[in-house]
Amino acid sequence: MIRIADMEIDVETARLLGHEYCVKYVVFPFRLEDEHLWVALRDIKNMDILTNISDITGCFVVPVAADEGDILFHVNRIFGADALHSIASQFLVDEQLKNHIESSEILTEISSAPAVRLIDSLIETGVLNRASDIHIEPYGQQLRARYRVDGQLITYSTVDITLLPNVVSRLKIMGGMDISEKRLPQDGHFTMTDSNFFAKGDKVDFRLSTLPTVFGEKIVIRLLYGETSYIKKEALGFYDEDLKKLTALFNQPYGAIFMTGPTGSGKSTTLSSFLRELNHETSNIITVEDPVENPILGISHINIERTGLNFPGALRHILRQDPDVIMIGEIRDEETARIAIQAAITGHVVLSTLHTNDAAGVIERLTDMGIPSYLVAAALNGVISQRLVRRICQDCAYPTTLTQTQAQLLQLPVHTPVQLGRGCSHCNHTGFRSRFAIYEYIIINENIRRQISSQPSKFAEGIRSLQGLRNNAVRALIDGKTTADEIIRALSRENLAGEV
């Protein structure tokens, strides 16, 4: 059995038999050499299909066994991208027509229609695949579209570069941005509801950002799936006994809790899930963010950019508004850290994220910022550090053991039983479905407060030697929740995290 992704695929050859035929017989031709046609199929002994393909193409068929899901995924990838190409080619025809038309009004109408359909198609596919981001990027003569699904970027299609100006203009209009500004990066957003490809009542927010590159403007669209994307704390990936302790931690009447982890580690999502829990009529919750990521009804979110204030400035105003809970998107400077610690000591719950490698790093970072260790000790209630890993699809999981390299990297025995996903129709043939957190945390008690206060670096060293994140990751691996490669990737990112 082969994995088609490991093969060299010739796109022309892949189209040889047509979409319908490939789906009906579950076949995928991918290479043609000297009248030998390599075809991936479920049952390589099915002489009827082999003869039939040979008759149609006039080639000698080289059958290769592959998984049904794998075959269909690649068939749909090739022909799905074709739909984009047909829109793109319509645009090229329109471009030629344009030379004969004088009226600028008609001109805009004609040339924008294919761009509209192209963007609709990109957005639709993105939403259906639950992509978190869509990248539209010019490269030389090509315009490439990629999706980020479960944390991984997947190339969807490339079309001719001539579409770029119309695509960019259309998106800028949708995002309320300045279409004449092409030299500076811009941000924008728009919302879609109840479209044909959305579930009823579904709402998707699109955050756009443009960046001028040497080939033209690159656009990244972040997709935020409204209420449906809100992850209940039970689904974040915490083990039951840990979730109990963390829930108690977030329900303390005052004190600071810091989340840490590299960009894309899901720290804001976790914070947001717990913040929802604290959202009662009886409490005043104010957040200050850059920008607001997950707006929650009943909470006062402040977008720092719109206020013209900096974080310390905004925080001083917030403190005059009698808050119970303050969430600070990220602490980046000493002054913000100082105000946050002060607020935690004076009876507020303060939640924030800090960019450090691990949980212990938070204590070091705060003291490095010049905050005396006795204040850090007094203010802190807890620290959580996390990474996101992909969850193995339960519909196609199968048992296996570690490879030699994986075993060495993870310092586990080679015969350790683990799981992998084969890929099926439930998981878009990736073997994964959704993501969850691997994590470590410190809950500060009186004993720990004393240690932080007197010897903060020694305490941090001690915590680090426990390898909490690594041990939690290995537990998730042995429980069959994720793969060894996912964990190796997530853990090795640790070393890079500090440099971002």
Residue numbers of the site for Zn ion (CB under 5 A)? 393, 395-396, 424, 426-427
Distances (CA, A) of 389 to 14, 358, 410, 476: 33, 16, 15, 10
The residue (of 41 and 427) whose beta carbon lies closer to Zn ion is: 427
- Residue 398 Cβ vs Zn ion, minimum distance, rounded to whole Å: 10
Residue nearest to Zn ion (CB): 393
- Residue 124 Cβ vs Zn ion, minimum distance, rounded to whole Å: 23
- Residue 425 Cβ vs Zn ion, minimum distance, rounded to whole Å: 7
- Residue 394 Cβ vs Zn ion, minimum distance, rounded to whole Å: 8
The residue (of 324 and 395) whose beta carbon lies closer to Zn ion is: 395
- Residue 95 Cβ vs Zn ion, minimum distance, rounded to whole Å: 42
The residue (of 267 and 435) whose beta carbon lies closer to Zn ion is: 435
- Residue 239 Cβ vs Zn ion, minimum distance, rounded to whole Å: 24
- Residue 426 Cβ vs Zn ion, minimum distance, rounded to whole Å: 5
The residue (of 393 and 474) whose beta carbon lies closer to Zn ion is: 393
The residue (of 73 and 439) whose beta carbon lies closer to Zn ion is: 73
- Residue 475 Cβ vs Zn ion, minimum distance, rounded to whole Å: 23
- Residue 224 Cβ vs Zn ion, minimum distance, rounded to whole Å: 26
Given a contact cutoff of 8 angstroms between Cβ atoms, the answer to whether 221 and 171 are in contact is yes
The 3-state secondary structure of the chain, one letter per residue: CECHHHCCCCHHHHCCCCHHHHHHHCEEEEEEECCEEEEEECCCCCHHHHHHHHHHHCCEEEEEEECHHHHHHHHHHHHHHHHHHHHHHHHHHHHHHHCCCCCHHHHHHHHHHHHHHHHHHHHHHHHHCCCCEEEEEEECCEEEEEEEECCEEEEEEEEEHHHHHHHHHHHHHHCCCCCCCCCCCEEEEEEEECCCCCCCCCEEEEEEEEEEECCEEEEEEEEECHHHHCCCHHHCCCCHHHHHHHHHHHCCCCEEEEEECCCCCCHHHHHHHHHHHHCCCCCCEEEEECCCCCCCCCCEEEEHHHHCCCHHHHHHHHHCCCCCEEEECCCCCHHHHHHHHHHHHCCCEEEEEECCCCHHHHHHHHHHCCCCHHHHHHHEEEEEEEEEEEEECCCCEEEEECCHHHHHHHCCCCCCEEEEECCCHHHCCCCEEEEEEEEEEEECCHHHHHHHHHCHHHHHHHHHHCCHHHHHHHHHHHCCCCCHHHHHHHHHCHHHHCCC
The residue (of 370 and 399) whose beta carbon lies closer to Zn ion is: 399
The residue (of 330 and 395) whose beta carbon lies closer to Zn ion is: 395
- Residue 484 Cβ vs Zn ion, minimum distance, rounded to whole Å: 18
The residue (of 426 and 458) whose beta carbon lies closer to Zn ion is: 426
Burial 142-162 (b: 16+ CB within 10 A, else e): ebbbbbbbbbeeeebbbbebe
The residue (of 255 and 421) whose beta carbon lies closer to Zn ion is: 421
Q: What whole-number distance in Å separates Cα of residue 190 and Cα of residue 171? A: 10
The residue (of 191 and 425) whose beta carbon lies closer to Zn ion is: 425
- Residue 424 Cβ vs Zn ion, minimum distance, rounded to whole Å: 3
The residue (of 396 and 452) whose beta carbon lies closer to Zn ion is: 396
